[in-house]
Structure 1
Amino acid sequence: MANATRTASFVRLFAAASSAAMALSATTTVFAQEAQADEQSQTIQEIVVTAQFREQKLQDTPLAITAVTAELIEARSATNLADVAKAAPSVVLRPASASFGNSITATIRGLGQLDFNPALEPGVGMYIDDVYYPRLTGANFDLLDVERVEVLRGPQGTLTGRNSEGGAIRFVSRKPTGEGGNVSATYGSRNRMNLRATADFKLTENLFARISGTFADQGGYVDVIDYGCAVPASGVPSTVGGTNCNLYKQGDVGYRALKGMLRYAPNDDLDIMITADYMNDARNNAPEVLLFGTGGNPNTRTSNGLPLSNNFICGPRCNYTTTGSNAGSWQAGVAIPGLQGLPLAAVAGQQQTLYEGWGVSANIDYKLTDSLQIQSITAYRAWDTSFSVDGDLSPANTQFGNNALSHWFWSQELRLNAKLADNLDLTVGGYYSDELTTYYTLQDIRYVSVPGLPPALSPLFPLQFIGNDPVDTEAKGAFGTLIYKPTEAMTITAGVRYSEDAKDYTFFRYNLDGRTINAFLDGIGAVYGAGFSGPDVRDANRNGNVTEIVSSLTGRTASFRGSRWDYRLSLDYRFSPEVMAYATTATGYKAGGVGPRPFNAAQARGFGPEEVTSYELGIKTDLLDRRLRVNVSGFYNNLKNAQLTLLECPQFGGPGPCALPQNAGDATIKGFEFEAFFNPVAGLQFDASASYLKYTYDCVNPAVVGLPGGACSSDPAVISRLADQAQGWQWNFGAQYEADLGSAGSLTPRIDVNRQNALPGNVLRAAPGSPSEQFGQVPGYTITNGRLTWRNAERDLDISLEVTNVFNKYYFLNKFDLSGLAGSILGQVGRPREWALTVRKKF
């Protein structure tokens, strides 16, 4: 009954908003007549999108879609994907913590993925010129030579590519046309240097080329300080001499990219595009600070015996991180035979996060007849990345890790677009991709303790090991969409998709010598060797029969195989040239797999697919002679088997580290979205977006939250163990005015204000008064940006002065809460106030 009441309230809220928009449209004719008399009236730019793989006006597409043009991207001082996403309602894209290297977290309408590991699927599909990008690593794309970005909200997959439950983000590049080019240079805060250039030229009558490049360099804003130098009385050995204790800065930028496009278009029927790109991102680790630290385990102390504590908190924009852990002698605090006096080897890493990637693709559009078109998209991409992680940002030795991933991916997609009749269109297609990612890691984890005892008295065992795990992923899909117009005003869209997903993950857990198997992680493998599988000898000796087959973790391949049918059904109706409404129901899913980071054999556990059924109502309007655009949408999602990554899981294998994906339970996600563009007079423009999201668990798997029981439980005592997911309000507002200076050109001031909602720091709810509650949550924040642009009368030269984070707001992009295990809470600090001057020339 309560759920039905909430649903009814949601429907009433959406209906009220829709009614208001309809009422406003009734006055459109009057205002339009007045607008026609105003010679300086300015209509909103018409945006053509290809979200349904036909050229359609944005306002004719029955999807909740945000289309951001290159002009608006530039006006908002956006430089990467995360900047663009701030303008889209219900979208949260943020750089990931340093523990996840060069990657992002991505959710749309509360669905997506926070963990970059290749064992998990993103949930938000990302496409560059129709080519699917399968990983969160390297996904905060630079906006190099982009024509527009389309953000599609809600399940996608019946038209293209992979099955994406949350939505999809599509980058559309500028095509070579044989004309034009541009170059720009930027200088700004902390020696920021940006250079961009594009050349577009004709090789022959039907052959065109376009080359684009970008260079970005900037100093960091979080100081890394040598603790022994800064606090000599501590006795911690210093690694530098003299009085300058600053080692380097985090939060810097070091990005280079190059893209070339070759287009062959001999006639209106054939268009072939070959694209190649290369990118290199080399920068220091993500700008993080220690917010809380405590630890009594003697194995985690500094080389001179200091424990992790809040004394190692440096300040709002500095830390004492190190690039390794010291050698030492590990001592067990409990009487465990054979575990006394084990040596701890020293480990060392790198201060930089490195990423290098390249890709090639071929897009072929061929019109077989006037009513039949075939499209082929073939792509290959590869990248390598490496980074090191100091888990406490201090000279203490709680945990340290080196990580290196090597990845290749290729995909093939075919689509056939057919016009079966004047009122009937069909798209059918197929998709196939294969990828292999090898994840090498060296981990040095020293904080493991016996539960219930003081850490100083109960160190249990050290975890120094090497993993080198290949992850093989294969995806197949077949899809079809039928678009039928029974009347001029009504359109019915029906789509279906079949998906097959396969993933194989092979574990290797060696000691630091790279040859012998680590007995703490893989006792069976240490005794019987890699790949062993056989009867439990202990059980046979005890009971006289064999009831269980045991196997080593090292050499074990865990597999996931899944298939799924999904659908989309949509009805839209155009009440007038100014107003269209639509209703949509769709399904989507995210494949399952196996926990990729088992710190004991029991954590090598599988998890099932995540499934969603979405219901959506929307209304799109162009009012006041197309000077006011208002789009409203509301959605209601039923989520089954929600996937969450647990950072604490003593219920699975005992004490120690945890990073285990599991199916937490079922949830209801509902929300409201609003977008508006308003050009009241010539030169003046307002744009705004807002969304409200409510994520409510209907039942929770007790085992996931450490309670006994089997079936998904609706008991509030069980549900309350999980933290509230990303929810609440987020919004964006922008305004600009282009003042005409006659022969002197124009001057355009612009302001943007963006509000991001709060996020939990851990999937488990923080106990009242705990460090997690005090320091581990990610508060919401509001950022204001300003820009002033002069453009000459010919509109081929402009000079812009921008200031981002005008009020120098101190905020966090994310937090990494391991206070329940390692005793630390880290936070990634957002960028402070920055200024930049850009000169851009078009040719």
Structure 2
Amino acid sequence: MNGIHTCPVRIIASSLALAAAALPATLAQAQSNRATALEEVVVTAQRREQDLQRTSVSVTALGGELLADADLPELSSLENLVPNLNFRIGSDGGNSTLQAFIRGVGQFDFAITTDPGVGMYIDNVYQSRTIGANLEFADIEQVQVLRGPQGTLYGKNTIGGAINVVTKKPGDELEFQLEGATGSYQHRELNGYLSVPLIDGTLAASAAFLMRESDGWQERRGQDAGNDDMAGGRFHLLWTPGESFESHLVLDAAHQRQNVYPRVLATFNGAEFFPFLYNTFVSPGDPCCTPNADIDKSNALNELERDDLDSRGASWTNTWSWDKFQLQSITGYRQLESEIYRDSDNDPQDFLSVGTLIDGDQISQEFIFSGLALNDNLDWVAGLYYLDEDAEHDSDITVASGLFEALSSQPLDVTLPDGTPVAFLAVPLDLTLHYERQQQTTSYAAYIHGIYSLSDSLRLTLAARYTDEEKELDTFSVRRASQTAFVTPGPTDASACSDVVASGNGSRYQCKESWSEVSPKVGIEWDINDDIMTYLSASRGFRSGAFNGRPTALAEISVADPETLTAYEWGLKSEWWDRRLIVNGALFYNDYEDQQFLVNRSSASLGGGLALIVDNAGDSSITGAELEISALPVEGLTLTGTLGWIDAEFDTFESINPATGQVEDLSDRPFQDTPEWTGSLMAQYEWIFNRGGSLKLLADVYYKDNVYYTNDRAARDFEVLHPDGFTTWNAGLIYTTPQEHWQVALHGRNLGDEREINGGFTVDAFGVTDVSYTAPRRYFLSLRYRL
């Protein structure tokens, strides 16, 4: 492990050496009008415009120009530039599903019954579902990643952090940009942006669009997996009739019809219970299944495979400004329809597949009142927040398709060693499960955040949030093949849930519960001098309770209580050498209580198959550190580096095994989706020619330490889902013409062709370990025209 810990340091040191070696002898010929200091970065992390270096929260701000230059096509690419931010491929198989983890806190399940641990915002509007969030357009002004609990400044309470995408407002000058790109795997892309002043100084509009297509990079018998086929756009209308009022309307839509993110059957144990029965009675002459020999080729053939998405959204922000006060109204709406169907068995036979259909509608309203008081010594923000979400989630889980038909057709004289006819097993072993869920969530909140200046250099922060949330869940389930109930009607142990009743050929139950919490924050910040600021804070995060939307038996109907996280943080923001060097860092400690988990267990009612329990299974301690450095060592060269470290361990981890009814101690489990070390370095060098025009060279390297994609040490393939740390390299070359109208760029991603596991799951009883891998080396060439 010692060698692994020093990997980020070695990577950064070697990259610095390469960057220095790349400096050309023609450096002296560059024009002298280039920047001699790093630009000031303005963020709105505390609901007002501030210099990033005077913001007492851990926030990384990435501008739209940097995102375009670095050719980061999706929000999940942000982990390359942000410390202690980690994404996993959506466990539903969708490439556009965003499952983010910050400082070890994230989302254990993509289902509608689970709230994200990291909040996703577009123009300050919270996105309840992370499906379809992994998309970008050409009108991005800035992306801000806030680490730690959020709630006293942002609309929705989020326990781990927030990602806020800030789009570009239309201005009073005509702007036009059109870009086309081509690349590996028949990549084709066209995106554009147009901003037009309609009424001088009063009304302006803009529109952005994106169309992207490519072939998949995993060959399949049907459509290749990993392809792109999407189109979308965003429209802005900005009305500013005077200095005291502004109204900003944003409409967006996305349409996607593509295949799933490539899955790989890493291992298959045909001797396990379900594979044995399947190959004996369903497919005796052509046994299933064979693990992938090549991760870029699959024998899977399922015509239902898809990653389809339709998303529509709107936000309307109205701002009234007075001398020392401001009132802002933010109204948001989002509707999405997602259908994802993935086949994981590397075989034309349907041994294991999962279909997911999610429809969701949400509306939110936030009022924010802010101003100055007490001789301008108190800078305060107060807000009211409302969210209503109505979501539907249907699932079709298929294990050993055809097993019910094969067993039920067996003659009664075909028996087990104990004399039980095999036909009697047909219904209990029917694992073609269908779920229909409807959940309505209503959230109310009020918050206040004040910063009081004790002196010219010392400020005190006091803040609090009150949250009240109510959830109602209605669940129907049935075995598809046999048309029988697998959740047996009867009374439940969960007091928030009704008795399970027969409904058609299946069963149905409802749950309803509400929770409330006060989340305070206190902090102190001190300007040591004009260039160095330090702060100390303590805050509390809250995630409301969760229902189990996937019970496989009556005993598995469960309700998890809310979880809380108390975060302690010390941070430093500093500038050096006339702002040619910026060094920011933070140390943090999180006390995480009543963690919600989807705990996997063996279920006797499913023949030893998978049982899923939603439980407050764990309490943990998370200690970590972050370092961000930006430097301008010579004119034209910018270096940006990050380093993140997390030490996370469970203090307690206990859960009831439904097969035995006993409480088990699982505290030796590792933390999931949380690499101990992450590190990155980006180097940008720009040549400005004497006759005009410029050439920019970019290179970045990213290191992710070994990570656990399952925390179940008892799983047979536990180590398969614990891949080693790895390093990826990207680079780009951008030429801009003298008038800056034309730009041609060449980019390469994953130049080392590092293929490592980036997600997966295992179920011993099914004999299956399913994983996904990082995409292969790819190249892209683009041409852009800007008015």
Determine the C-alpha separation between the residues in 2 that align with 1:198 and 1:804.
25
Q: Which amino acid in the other structure matches residue 260 of structure 1? A: F
Q: Is the 8 A contact 2:672 2:709 kept in 1?
A: no
> Cα gap change, 1:795/1:705 in structure 2, threshold over 3 Å: closer, same or farther?
farther
Match 2:333 to one of 380, 389, 400: 380
Match of 2:759 in 1: 814
> Cα gap change, 1:573/1:282 in structure 2, threshold over 3 Å: closer, same or farther?
same
Q: Which amino acid in the other structure matches residue 184 of structure 1? A: E
Determine the C-alpha separation between the residues in 2 that align with 1:549 and 1:363.
41
Determine the C-alpha separation between the residues in 2 that align with 1:505 and 1:126.
23
Determine the C-alpha separation between the residues in 1 that align with 2:661 and 2:653.
12
Determine the C-alpha separation between the residues in 2 that align with 1:260 and 1:702.
49
Match of 1:361 in 2: 315
Matches within 5 A, 1:513-524: 518-519=484-485, 521-524=486-489
Could you tell me the TM-score, scaled by structure 1's length?
A: 0.82
Match 1:804 to one of 737, 749, 756: 749
Query: What is the deviation of 1:706?
Result: 8.1
Q: Is the 8 A contact 2:468 2:515 kept in 1?
A: yes
Q: Does 1:731 align with 2:679?
A: yes
Q: Is the 8 A contact 2:492 2:557 kept in 1?
A: no
> Cα gap change, 1:700/1:593 in structure 2, threshold over 3 Å: closer, same or farther?
same
Query: What is the deviation of 1:725?
Result: 5.5
Match 1:611 to one of 537, 558, 564: 564
Match 1:417 to one of 353, 363, 370: 370
Q: Which amino acid in the other structure matches residue 723 of structure 2? A: V
Secondary structure, in 3 states, of the residue corresponding to 1:523?
coil
Match of 2:187 in 1: 192
Match of 2:247 in 1: 272
Match of 1:201 in 2: 196
Q: Which amino acid in the other structure matches residue 361 of structure 1? A: S
Match of 1:86 in 2: 80
Query: What is the deviation of 1:758?
Result: 2.5
Query: What is the deviation of 1:303?
Result: 5.3
Secondary structure, in 3 states, of the residue corresponding to 1:508?
strand
Gaps of 5+ in 1: 1-37, 226-246, 324-348, 526-532, 536-547
Match of 2:258 in 1: 283
Determine the C-alpha separation between the residues in 1 that align with 2:102 and 2:438.
29
Secondary structure, in 3 states, of the residue corresponding to 1:92?
strand
Determine the C-alpha separation between the residues in 2 that align with 1:566 and 1:353.
38
Q: Does 1:150 align with 2:130?
A: no
C-alpha distance after superposition, 1:788-834 (max 9, x if no partner): 1111223332211111111111122212222x121111211211111
Q: Which amino acid in the other structure matches residue 220 of structure 1? A: G
Matches within 5 A, 1:88-107: 88-99=82-93, 102-107=96-101
Q: Is the 8 A contact 1:385 1:406 kept in 2?
A: yes
Query: What is the deviation of 1:399?
Result: 2.9
C-alpha distance after superposition, 1:655-695 (max 9, x if no partner): 32234322122100010000000001110110000100011
C-alpha distance after superposition, 1:514-544 (max 9, x if no partner): xx9623x13328xxxxxxx799xxxxxxxxx
Match 1:645 to one of 591, 598, 606: 598
Query: What is the deviation of 1:465?
Result: 3.8
C-alpha distance after superposition, 1:72-118 (max 9, x if no partner): 11222101111123211111123213546741221111011031101
Segment drifting more, 481-490 vs 292-301: 292-301
> Cα gap change, 1:739/1:564 in structure 2, threshold over 3 Å: closer, same or farther?
same
Q: Which amino acid in the other structure matches residue 445 of structure 2? A: G
> Cα gap change, 1:363/1:488 in structure 2, threshold over 3 Å: closer, same or farther?
same
Query: What is the deviation of 1:647?
Result: 3.2
Q: Is the 8 A contact 2:89 2:99 kept in 1?
A: yes
Secondary structure, in 3 states, of the residue corresponding to 2:593?
strand
> Cα gap change, 1:167/1:723 in structure 2, threshold over 3 Å: closer, same or farther?
closer
> Cα gap change, 1:571/1:307 in structure 2, threshold over 3 Å: closer, same or farther?
farther
Match of 1:782 in 2: 727
Match 2:699 to one of 730, 734, 751: 751
Query: What is the deviation of 1:602?
Result: 1.5
Q: Which amino acid in the other structure matches residue 786 of structure 1? A: A
Determine the C-alpha separation between the residues in 1 that align with 2:129 and 2:721.
27
Determine the C-alpha separation between the residues in 2 that align with 1:487 and 1:744.
49
> Cα gap change, 1:391/1:317 in structure 2, threshold over 3 Å: closer, same or farther?
closer
Determine the C-alpha separation between the residues in 1 that align with 2:693 and 2:525.
44
Query: What is the deviation of 1:733?
Result: 0.5
Determine the C-alpha separation between the residues in 1 that align with 2:189 and 2:217.
18
Q: Is the 8 A contact 1:374 1:416 kept in 2?
A: yes
Q: Is the 8 A contact 2:742 2:786 kept in 1?
A: yes
RMSD: 2.8
Could you tell me the TM-score, scaled by structure 2's length?
A: 0.87
C-alpha distance after superposition, 1:553-578 (max 9, x if no partner): 73311123100000111111011111
Query: What is the deviation of 1:552?
Result: 2.2
Q: Does 1:57 align with 2:22?
A: no
Q: Is the 8 A contact 1:398 1:445 kept in 2?
A: yes
Query: What is the deviation of 1:258?
Result: 0.9
Q: Which amino acid in the other structure matches residue 292 of structure 2? A: I
Match 1:493 to one of 447, 457, 461: 461
Query: What is the deviation of 1:394?
Result: 1.8
Q: Is the 8 A contact 2:760 2:770 kept in 1?
A: yes
C-alpha distance after superposition, 1:757-812 (max 9, x if no partner): 33223231256xx4332x23233321100101111223332211111111111122
Match 1:772 to one of 715, 718, 722: 718
Segment drifting more, 487-496 vs 55-64: 487-496
Q: Which amino acid in the other structure matches residue 488 of structure 2? A: G
Q: Which amino acid in the other structure matches residue 524 of structure 1? A: P
Determine the C-alpha separation between the residues in 2 that align with 1:425 and 1:394.
62
Q: Is the 8 A contact 1:465 1:518 kept in 2?
A: no
Segment drifting more, 142-151 vs 583-592: 142-151
C-alpha distance after superposition, 1:144-175 (max 9, x if no partner): 31000000001110012111110111111110
Gaps of 5+ in 2: 1-31, 405-416
Secondary structure, in 3 states, of the residue corresponding to 2:610?
coil
> Cα gap change, 1:363/1:651 in structure 2, threshold over 3 Å: closer, same or farther?
farther
Determine the C-alpha separation between the residues in 2 that align with 1:71 and 1:99.
31
% of aligned pairs identical?
25
Determine the C-alpha separation between the residues in 1 that align with 2:285 and 2:45.
58
Match 1:300 to one of 269, 274, 278: 278
Match of 1:234 in 2: none
Determine the C-alpha separation between the residues in 2 that align with 1:638 and 1:165.
12
Query: What is the deviation of 1:418?
Result: 1.6
Match of 1:68 in 2: 62
Secondary structure, in 3 states, of the residue corresponding to 1:821?
helix
